[in-house]
Amino acid sequence: MSGAGRNHARKVGPMTSTSTDSAQKAPAKDPWDLPDVSGLVVGVLGGTGPQGKGLAYRLARAGQKVIIGSRAAERAQAAADELGHGVEGADNAETARRSDIVIVAVPWDGHGKTLESLREELAGKLVVDCVNPLGFDKKGAYALKPEEGSAAEQAAALLPDSRVTAAFHHLSAVLLQDPEIEEIDTDVMVLGEERADVEIVQALAGRIPGMRGIFSGRLRNAHQVESLVANLISVNRRYKAHAGLRLTDL
Ligand SMILES: NC(=O)c1ccc[n+]([C@@H]2O[C@H](COP(=O)([O-])OP(=O)(O)OC[C@H]3O[C@@H](n4cnc5c(N)ncnc54)[C@H](OP(=O)(O)O)[C@@H]3O)[C@@H](O)[C@H]2O)c1
């Protein structure tokens, strides 16, 4: 179990519940009751940037097999060599082909074109979109409104043969990449249509010390999760911080 060693006692209902109560109420879901994903290969498209490289580093450091993708294989190789921990580098197409889970960490500008060009390589793969469509002006960051609703829904529309999920939107690339930091203290909101796919991504997040993956709804609700980063950027600017998120009472 990916949550081994953490407090993952399953919550149970009150002992006094009546038979009617127990028939109506499903037991509370334990956020650590997740599949073992330690044997899966994770590819990162755009893995030469701060977010992709940071995620690649954290996952590889936790023992996951990771391939960094780039538009240029040599840039990917250079980034992989820098990270160590068995990370490999390849162009985006080969990365997608060789991976079980593919994290999309390219800028919003290149999102649609990149995914469209990799439709075949990404068929059947579990795709994890972490792209935040944002604009910046003198007042700071603000959320853009993609035609499809969100970056994740654009991915789902462009990749009908892939299993598209969305996660890892609210991480600080600075913290991810800092080797002095042992734990990344944050929850990861995971969205998707299929419960099994969402749980795989939750488990992947849980491989990184300090992180916990939480099911946070279907892709039609990805827009506000992607957009929340504009607020986090405001928080970080005001308080000179790298703020993360915690969901309470779970
Ligand atoms: N930075 C953060 O803290 C953070 C946190 C959460 C989520 N995100 C999201 O993660 C994504 C990546 O963020 P980042 O800061 O790492 O971005 P970035 O550095 O601007 O881009 C990442 C990589 O994408 C590739 N790329 C650049 N332009 C591209 C294009 N037009 N088409 C295809 N690939 C392109 C580049 O790699 P090659 O030139 O090697 O191909 C680049 O190194 C963004 O969508 C962002 O919203 C970022």
| Dist. CA 182 → ligand 1 center (Å) | 24
What is the share, in percent, of the chain residues with pLDDT greater than 90? 87
Cβ atoms of 43 and 163 within 8 Å: the answer is: no
| Confidence tier at 4 by pLDDT (50, 70, 90) | very low
pLDDT of 13 strictly over 70: no
Cβ atoms of 193 and 215 within 8 Å: the answer is: no
Nearest CA to ligand 1 atom 46: 131
DSSP 131: -
**Per-residue pLDDT, 21:** 52
What is the number of the ligand 1 atom nearest to the C-alpha of 109?
Answer: 31
What is the number of the ligand 1 atom nearest to the C-alpha of 107?
Answer: 45
Q: Which residues lie with the beta carbon below 6 Å from any ligand 1 atom?
A: 46, 48-52, 70-72, 75, 105-110, 114, 130-132, 169, 171-173
pLDDT of 18 strictly over 70: no
**Per-residue pLDDT, 108:** 98
What is the number of the ligand 1 atom nearest to the C-alpha of 114?
Answer: 33
What does the domain layout of the chain look like in residue ranges?
A: 34-239
Cβ atoms of 161 and 119 within 8 Å: the answer is: yes
Q: Look at 5 and 119; give whichever has higher pLDDT.
A: 119
Cβ atoms of 46 and 90 within 8 Å: the answer is: no
**Per-residue pLDDT, 202:** 98
Nearest CA to ligand 1 atom 3: 173
Task: Report pLDDT digits (tens) over 58-89.
Answer: 999 999 999 999 999 999 999 999 999 999 99
Residue 65 forms beta bridges with which residues?
41
Nearest CA to ligand 1 atom 36: 46
Structure tokens that stand for 14 in this block? 């009150």
Task: Report pLDDT digits (tens) over 185-234.
Answer: 999 999 999 999 999 999 999 999 999 999 999 999 999 999 999 999 99
Name the architecture of domain 34-239. Answer: 3-Layer(aba) Sandwich (3.40)
| Dist. CA 63 → ligand 1 center (Å) | 24
